[in-house]
């Protein structure tokens, strides 16, 4: 009886064309064990070239394991799957050559082709990102269970559930798809460094020099999502949404360039309005409006002069959350915003009261991660992660 193997393959390009890498995983279909993992650094290439190179690497590995195996190829590239199935014609010269190489490998073999959603192809995607991050090839082999292969983690995350809430105490039977929201505060500005109040309708400063360094550091750290470390079991990032304010947008653009993605804006992610207090230090605002300042601290409904109360701000922030969750359902999306919007996401995730708007620390270019299932429930993965800074 022929052995049955599964190949999961994926390729990526940060720039398209740009820095490219490919990843492939060979799995024993009967046992679910990962037999081989291959990461290939390609250099400068397009996404499609990287995907074909990933497929070739996976096929070569599978046929090396068992030249007579029945093989099922799974990829999230509809182009490659349709072309290799013979339903779409290959037109691009580069693709023609690579396609011929694939056909040479599979000639006389029993091979089936299956398209899968990107989130189901996270193993191969992680290997492709690993190749791009490290600018090098790597390969591992041996009978490793798929669970173990995806869980080379610390014991602190062994209860991670890839589709539903991780805690067995959760009373919710979710019906909505899992959306992972990676919350990133913008990098530092001159107002951040001067400890000045910087709200949503005051001055709109650029990132400072150290703020740009912050942004590059967090962009690199986000490369671990879906790839390695404690976040490798989270699906890779597929979208970036930003506040329209310069400091957030500039941080988001650095992240986008690193990951080969585009940035979209959401006006409701703008920082809370501090009105007449914008640009002042805390001490100056307190001296300016002493009585109001004391009433404002810890209040849900009191606002600064010409500014927003938490109650008003929270309404638009939760609208932003719903918009993002709806548009990117089932995906991993980076949200680049400010202190108060990030606290607003966390407040909702914890189902907390107003105090959640002043208790969590949210440092510049820190990472906080929540997993949400529509409006049904949420899970907090990490808050104010700053090890990369």
Give the end of a domain, one of 132, 150, 168.
150
* 336 and 188 within one domain: yes
Total domains present in the chain: 2
Catalytic residues: 186, 271
Q: What is the Cα–Cα distance from 326 to 324, expressed in whole angstroms?
A: 5
Q: What are phi and psi of 272, to 5 degrees?
A: -60, 145
Mean pLDDT confidence for 220-248:
90
Query: For position 17, what pLDDT does the model report?
Result: 86
**Confidence tier at 245 by pLDDT (50, 70, 90):** very high
- The answer to whether position 376 is within a domain reads yes
* 219 and 128 within one domain: no
- The answer to whether position 159 is within a domain reads no
Terminal Cα distance for the chain, rounded: 54
Q: What percentage of residues in the chain have a pLDDT greater than 90? A: 74
* 184 and 321 within one domain: yes
- The answer to whether position 106 is within a domain reads yes
**DSSP 3-state percent helix, strand, coil across the chain (nearest 5):** 40, 25, 35
* 269 and 139 within one domain: no
- The answer to whether position 161 is within a domain reads no
**Confidence tier at 152 by pLDDT (50, 70, 90):** very low
Which of 141-155, 284-298, 370-384 comes out lowest in average pLDDT? 141-155
* 183 and 105 within one domain: no
| Strands 18-28 and 178-185, bridge-based pairing | unpaired
Q: Mean pLDDT for the chain?
A: 91
Query: For position 147, what pLDDT does the model report?
Result: 40
Query: For position 189, what pLDDT does the model report?
Result: 94
Contacting residues for 139 by C-beta, under 8 A, at least 6 apart: 36, 37, 38, 39
Sign of CA dihedral 322, 324, 330, 333: negative
- The answer to whether position 116 is within a domain reads yes
In the predicted model, is pLDDT for residue 68 greater than 80? yes
Q: What percentage of residues in the chain have a pLDDT greater than 70? A: 95
In the predicted model, is pLDDT for residue 149 greater than 80? no
Query: For position 176, what pLDDT does the model report?
Result: 94
* 210 and 72 within one domain: no
Nearest alpha carbon to residue 230 among 290, 328, 176, 160: 160
141's tokens: 């082999």
What is the model's pTM? 0.64
In the predicted model, is pLDDT for residue 30 greater than 90? no
Give the end of a domain, one of 150, 170, 190.
150
Query: For position 154, what pLDDT does the model report?
Result: 39
In the predicted model, is pLDDT for residue 146 greater than 90? no
* 218 and 146 within one domain: no
In the predicted model, is pLDDT for residue 226 greater than 90? no
- The answer to whether position 173 is within a domain reads no
Mean pLDDT confidence for 147-164:
53
39's tokens: 């990461």
In the predicted model, is pLDDT for residue 1 greater than 80? no
In the predicted model, is pLDDT for residue 60 greater than 50? yes
Q: What is the Cα–Cα distance from 306 to 296, expressed in whole angstroms?
A: 13
CATH code of the domain covering residue 356: 3.40.50.1240
Mean pLDDT confidence for 312-323:
98
Q: Where are the beta strands (DSSP E) in 103-177?
A: 111-115, 138-145
44's tokens: 């400068």
* 300 and 357 within one domain: yes
Query: For position 224, what pLDDT does the model report?
Result: 87
Number of H helices, E strands in the chain: 12, 12
Query: For position 159, what pLDDT does the model report?
Result: 61
* 140 and 24 within one domain: yes
* 372 and 237 within one domain: yes
In the predicted model, is pLDDT for residue 43 greater than 70? yes
* 327 and 254 within one domain: yes
In the predicted model, is pLDDT for residue 268 greater than 90? yes
Give the end of a domain, one of 113, 131, 150.
150
* 187 and 119 within one domain: no
In the predicted model, is pLDDT for residue 386 greater than 80? yes
CB neighbours (10 Å) of residue 100?
A: 11
Which of 92-96, 187-191, 239-243, 252-256 comes out lowest in average pLDDT? 92-96
CATH code of the domain covering residue 48: 3.30.420.10
DSSP one-letter string for 87-114: SS---SHHHHHHHHHHHHHHTTS-EEEE
- The answer to whether position 65 is within a domain reads yes
In the predicted model, is pLDDT for residue 299 greater than 60? yes
Mean pLDDT confidence for 357-385:
96
- The answer to whether position 243 is within a domain reads yes
In the predicted model, is pLDDT for residue 73 greater than 90? yes
pLDDT top residue among 143 and 148: 143
- Reading across the β-sheet that carries 332-337, which strands appear in turn? 263-265, 237-242, 332-337, 178-185, 367-373, 377-385
Residue-number span of the structural domain to which 68 is assigned: 4-150
Nearest alpha carbon to residue 180 among 382, 388, 385, 387: 382
**What separation in angstroms does the CA of 272 have from each of 156, 235, 290, 329, 337?**
35, 30, 20, 26, 11
For 94-117, the pLDDT digits (tens) are 789 899 999 999 999 999 999 999
């Amino acid at each position: 009886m022929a052995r049955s193997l599964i190949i999961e393959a994926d390729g990526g390009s940060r720039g398209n064309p740009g820095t490219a890498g490919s990843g492939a995983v060979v799995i024993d279909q009967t046992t679910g064990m990962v037999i081989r993992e291959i990461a290939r650094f390609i250099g400068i290439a397009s996404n499609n070239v990287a995907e074909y190179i990933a497929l070739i690497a996976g096929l070569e590995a599978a046929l090396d394991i068992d030249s007579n195996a029945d093989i099922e190829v799974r990829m999230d590239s509809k182009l490659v799957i349709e072309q290799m199935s013979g339903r779409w014609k290959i037109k691009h010269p580069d693709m023609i050559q690579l396609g011929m190489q694939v056909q040479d490998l599979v000639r006389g073999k029993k091979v089936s082709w299956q398209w899968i959603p990107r989130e189901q192809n996270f193993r191969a995607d992680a290997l492709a990102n690993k190749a791009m991050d490290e600018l090098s090839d790597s390969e591992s082999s041996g009978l490793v269970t798929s669970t173990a292969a995806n869980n080379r983690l610390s014991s602190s995350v062994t209860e991670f559930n890839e589709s539903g809430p991780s805690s067995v105490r959760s009373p919710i039977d979710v019906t909505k798809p899992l959306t992972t929201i990676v919350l990133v505060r913008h990098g530092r500005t001159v107002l951040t460094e001067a400890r000045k109040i910087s709200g949503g309708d005051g001055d709109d400063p650029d990132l400072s020099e150290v703020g740009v360094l912050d942004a590059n550091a967090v962009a690199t750290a986000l490369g671990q999502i879906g790839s390695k470390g404690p976040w490798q079991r989270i699906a890779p990032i597929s979208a970036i949404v930003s506040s329209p304010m310069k400091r957030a947008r500039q941080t988001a653009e650095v992240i986008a360039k690193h990951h080969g993605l585009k940035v979209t804006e959401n006006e409701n992610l703008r920082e809370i309005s501090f009105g007449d207090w914008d640009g002042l230090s805390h001490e100056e605002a307190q001296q300016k409006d002493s009585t109001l300042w004391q009433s404002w601290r810890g209040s849900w409904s009191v606002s600064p002069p010409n500014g927003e109360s938490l109650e008003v701000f929270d309404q638009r922030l939760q609208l932003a959350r719903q918009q993002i969750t709806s548009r990117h359902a089932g995906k991993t999306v980076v949200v680049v915003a400010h202190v108060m919007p990030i606290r607003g996401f966390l407040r909702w995730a914890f189902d907390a009261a107003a105090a959640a708007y002043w208790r969590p620390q949210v440092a510049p270019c820190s990472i906080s991660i929540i997993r949400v299932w529509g409006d049904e429930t949420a899970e907090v993965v990490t808050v104010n992660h700053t090890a990369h800074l």
